[in-house]
Amino acid sequence: MEGRFPLIGEKFPELEVITTHGKIKLPDDYRGKWFILFSHPADFTPVCTTEFVAFQKRYDQFKKLNTELIGLSIDQVFSHIKWVQWIKENLNVEIKFPIIADDTGQVSGKLGLIHPGKGTNTVRAVFIVDPESTIRAILYYPQELGRNMDEILRMIRGFQVSDKNGVAIPANWPNNELVGEEVIVPPAMTEKEAEERLRKYDCFDWWFCHKKI
């Protein structure tokens, strides 16, 4: 099933899904929280298993950032349940977040998770959604490349710092090569602002100023 995937800045589409934790209404059940919906190609596959363990190992860090995790694949719910049991019994890791069972492909179709050349499996997609149900970021990975969960954590932290302080987040933050853990001040819109910023902040030039938070 094909579908135009939602865009950054749009509201996450309203969906009622079956998960390992029962029925969930998206995004309504997560209003007031950030959530990350991530799809994986299939249960009982090596790369996907490493990803679920990696997400679970960081679950407490996500929760401290008011962020919930939701997995998804086109497997049936009993497959998800059995896979979660296998992970607990064999790897000693308990998966505590829900996994959507999308065996009809309807959810994947609406979110654009099934790409040409990849059969009917879902790609490794990540949707980052804010407490207002707005999609803030979308990531796509091919089946052969596992995700970096520390980068996804960094993105949540970066969005929250940006929203709270009205600033931009530099590359590799908080370990940027030019400004370290500092953040970027929005560019001046007038000549007067440009002059003031040079006095108020540390700047490489009037259009490139940074500050501590």
- Which residues is 134 bridged to in the sheet? 11
Distance from C-alpha of 148 to C-alpha of 154, rounded to nearest angstrom: 10
Active site residue 48: yes
10 Å CB burial of residue 13 (0-12, 13-18, 19+) is middle
Residue 154 CA: distances (Å) to CA of 90, 127, 174? 30, 14, 9
Catalytic residue among 48, 179, 185, 209: 48
Sign of CA dihedral 63, 129, 118, 106: positive
Residues labelled catalytic: 48
